[in-house]
Amino acid sequence: MTKIIAVTNQKGGVGKTTTSVNLAASLAACKKRTLLIDLDPQGNATMGCGVEKNEQETTIYSVLVDDIPIETAIIRSQCDKKLAVVPSNDDLTAAEIELVSLPQKEYRLKNQIAKIADSYDYIIIDCPPALSMLTINALTAANAVLIPVQCEYYALEGLSSLIRTVDKIKQTVNPNLEIEGLLRTMYDPRNSLTRDVTKQLVDHFGSRVYQTTIPRNVRLAEAPSYGVPALHYDKKSRGATAYLALAGELLRREKQKNLANA
């Protein structure tokens, strides 16, 4: 069964797009057929995979609003043949308004993904940093939610709101939705606030907090300007190795879950 992961947090600046791009690249490096869907009008995940967002005639906007088959929007990554991207650009901003009047407005992404899901082991959806019709489409289509969390004072407040949203989506349109895990980003273990927030997260969410943490790393910040994930910019950097570790942890969890259900 294809794992469809929505990477989301209603708070901006937590490393959501960085996580989407680098986790997708790391899963591809682990020989998993991976599709990254850029559902953010900023198109940063698109650019971070080396795709020029403003040169694309067919994007996720075309898929959601015009019912163009999603397979026509898929672009193969130049970095790794196992990685593919559905691009986005600022055309998607208009989709927020247009989706409201379309039939099955919450299910449009889900219905499109169903056509191609069997071609992939993992589908990663980079969500916009807001609860919107785009985010609702992502949560309706996904079977797992990955939440990047920056270890700072306001992180927990925003997190509570997101958990309520996920619960509401699960109760109404997607009973299969589960929180896959919480990922601590821009992590600095020397900082006492980081340690305090980590304790609160672990106390509340237990094993759903990933053991892997993502450090502040210059290479992670530089890689998007070269149009490549960190793994293909500097594979030995702390950021690249952290996301490889995250992919490994995610795969191990999935294997353990499958064995438990066997």
pLDDT tens track for 106-139: 999 999 999 999 999 999 999 998 888 999 999 9
- As a whole number, the mean pLDDT across the chain is 93
86-119 CB burial, b ≥16 within 10 A, e <16:
bbbbebbeebeeebeeeeeebbbbbbbbeebbee
Q: 65: domain CATH number?
A: 3.40.50.300
Nearest to 219 by CA among 210, 207, 208, 228: 228
Across 17-39, average pLDDT: 97
**Can you give the pLDDT at residue 37?**
98
Q: What is the pLDDT of residue 153?
A: 77
Least confident of 1-5, 93-97, 155-159, 228-232: 155-159
| pLDDT for 36 | 98
More confident residue, 111 or 159: 111
Three-state secondary structure call for residue 50: coil
pLDDT of residue 148: 96
What confidence score (pLDDT) does residue 179 get? 94
Of 177, 85, 101, which Cα lies nearest the Cα of 136? 177
User: What is the reported pLDDT for 158?
Assistant: 75
Position 43 scores a pLDDT of 96
Q: 9-13, 128-132, 222-226: which has the highest mean pLDDT?
A: 222-226
The pLDDT-based confidence of 221 (bands split at 50, 70, 90) is very high
Q: Work out the average pLDDT over 98-110.
A: 95
Which pLDDT value is given to residue 46?
96
- 257 pLDDT more than 90: no
Rounded distance, CA 74 to CA 23, Å?
18
- Taking each helix axis from N to C end, the angle separating 155-172 and 192-205, rounded to the nearest 10 degrees, works out to 20
| Residue 142, pLDDT above cutoff 90 | yes
Burial class of residue 14 in the structure, from the number of CB atoms within 10 Å of its CB (0-12 exposed, 13-18 middle, 19+ buried): buried
Tell me what the mean pLDDT of segment 184-189 comes to.
91
- The answer, yes or no, to whether residue 155 has pLDDT greater than 90, is no
**Across 186-206, average pLDDT:** 90
- Give the predicted TM-score (pTM) of the model: 0.96
Instruction: Please tell me the total count of domains within the chain.
Output: 1
**Terminus-to-terminus CA distance in the chain, angstroms?**
14
Please provide the size of the chain in residues.
262
CB 136 within 8 A of CB 177: no
Read off the pLDDT of each residue in 204-216 and give the average, rounded to a whole number.
94
* pLDDT above 90 (res 144): yes
What does the pLDDT read at residue 151?
Answer: 83
pLDDT range class, residue 182, cuts 50, 70, 90? very high
Which domain range does residue 242 map to? Answer: 3-261
